[in-house]
Structure 1
Amino acid sequence: MVFIFGVNFSEQQLVAKALQSFYGIGPHVCKGIMAKYFIHNTAKVGALQGRQLDDLGAELSTMTIENDLRRQVVDNIKRLRDMGTYRGRRHAMSLPVRGQNTRSTQILTARKLNRIERRG
């Protein structure tokens, strides 16, 4: 088992998949981080050297990921709701925010995602 930023990863897991498992790191950011530290696309976590693991941990600690990013997104939505903007009202009513149609079959994702925000 290998620790990266406080999370256990098996030695057979790809580095790209391990990095993308963090909330806030997608394929594009992952490729940038791997290129910065000269890590091959098909490299496995167990093949990384100690220095590379330390560099990855240091890089992840400087980024806004996981709970900090989740809190930031919730705060942004709460700010929109408090200001009473159109987007904030749409979030509060569990309706699509970005101009999607409001037919019953097309609104399910918005209702699912905005359900969390109705409690506030």
Structure 2
Amino acid sequence: MARIAGVNIPQNKLVHIGLTYIYGIGNKFSSQICTSLEIPKAKRINELTDEDILKIREYIDANFKVEGDLRRDYSLTIKRLIDLACYRGSRHRKKLPVRGQRTRCNARTRKGKAIAIAGKKLTPLKK
């Protein structure tokens, strides 16, 4: 298995697909890496030479922020917003949608499982 940026990339994948297994590299950046290093996209990971893997590894280290560094930056940005006590930070702290979505309904993903309210009993309809 090729190990790039601390991630084991499956052998049977195409190069531009395999690179997307690295956190922070999507389709756009994987295509950019392949074109800049002149590696054909149709090539598979197990067909790469050690020199090619080394070139990919060095290119990613030089040009991209991936895996742990990117995750750390992301969490520090959220922590900074919370410490500033700005609107976005307060939404993060309350675990509510941050980007203006409505919360009266359709916010279950962010808010979590619905909690029953005590004292609310449904009375059957009288006929």
Shorter-chain TM band: 0.7 to 0.9
Give the secondary-structure state (helix, strand or coil) at the position aligned to 1:17: helix
Q: Which residue of 1 aligns with 2:116?
A: none
Give the secondary-structure state (helix, strand or coil) at the position aligned to 2:60: helix
| Number of residue pairs aligned between Structure 1 and Structure 2 | 111
Question: Given the superposition, is the C-alpha separation of residues 64 and 91 from structure 1 closer, same or farther in structure 2, using an over 3 Å criterion?
Answer: same
Give the secondary-structure state (helix, strand or coil) at the position aligned to 2:46: helix
1:51-108 per-residue CA deviation (whole Å, 9 max, x = no partner) reads: 211110101222211111111111000000101110000111111111112133x212
- Return the offset for 1:16: 1.8
Relative to the length of structure 1, the TM-score reads: 0.81
Work out the CA distance in 1 between the residues paired with 2:80 and 2:56. 33
Give the secondary-structure state (helix, strand or coil) at the position aligned to 1:46: helix
Q: Which residue of 1 aligns with 2:26?
A: 26
Work out the CA distance in 2 between the residues paired with 1:88 and 1:7. 32
Give the secondary-structure state (helix, strand or coil) at the position aligned to 1:94: coil
Relative to the length of structure 2, the TM-score reads: 0.77
Question: Given the superposition, is the C-alpha separation of residues 111 and 31 from structure 1 closer, same or farther in structure 2, using an over 3 Å criterion?
Answer: farther
Give the secondary-structure state (helix, strand or coil) at the position aligned to 1:67: helix
The alignment-based identity, stated in percent, is 35
Q: Which residue of 1 aligns with 2:98?
A: 97
Work out the CA distance in 2 between the residues paired with 1:111 and 1:42. 43
Map of 1:49-64 to 2, 5 A cutoff?
49-62=49-62, 63-64=64-65
1:15-51 per-residue CA deviation (whole Å, 9 max, x = no partner) reads: 1222111111111111111111112222200111222
More helix by share: 1
Map of 1:6-21 to 2, 5 A cutoff?
6-21=6-21
- Return the offset for 1:12: 1.5
The one-letter code matched in structure 2 to 1:27 is N
Work out the CA distance in 2 between the residues paired with 1:23 and 1:41. 19
Work out the CA distance in 1 between the residues paired with 2:31 and 2:108. 32
Work out the CA distance in 2 between the residues paired with 1:111 and 1:70. 22
Q: Which residue of 1 aligns with 2:83?
A: 82
